[in-house]
Amino acid sequence: SQTIHQWPATLVQPVGSPLSLECTVEGTSNPNLYWYRQAAGRGLQLLFYSVGIGQISSEVPQNLSASRPQDRQFILSSKKLLLSDSGFYLCAWSVQSNQPQHFGDGTRLSIL
């Protein structure tokens, strides 16, 4: 069966520091991969999605970037974090179009 791993679970970072969040999927090949951000008490905002290695689409302009160095690995990065980058970051995967997206356990990021 397919599983998705996301780490770390929580992270506290100072303003201006770099960020790297990692997500890996097991048990499937060539999945679609997604990064979402959820502010406290709010909905899900799609940040990036990828349909294949090296293919990244950005949905909103921001201080973040994403990379997909391997088929089942998706990385969210920032060179210099802002206070507004705080939130709950969720990675998700799906098999193909019109199939369910399945979420990882998320990373709660606090910027001080």
Partner 1 sequence: GENVEQHPSTLSVQEGDSAVIKCTYSDSASNYFPWYKQELGKRPQLIIDIRSNVGEKKDQRIAVTLNKTAKHFSLHITETQPEDSAVYFCAASIGNAGNMLTFGGGTRLMVKP
Binding site for partner 1 (CB under 8 A): 32, 42-44, 46, 49, 51, 57, 59, 90, 94, 96-106, 108
Nearest to 50 by CA among 27, 26, 28, 75: 75
Work out how close the CB of 80 gets to partner 1 at its nearest, in angstroms, rounded to a whole number. 27
Residue number, 90 or 109, with CB nearest to partner 1: 90
Could you give the CA distance from residue 3 to residue 42 in angstroms, rounded to a whole number? Answer: 26
The token pair that represents 104 in the structure block: 């990882």
Work out how close the CB of 79 gets to partner 1 at its nearest, in angstroms, rounded to a whole number. 26
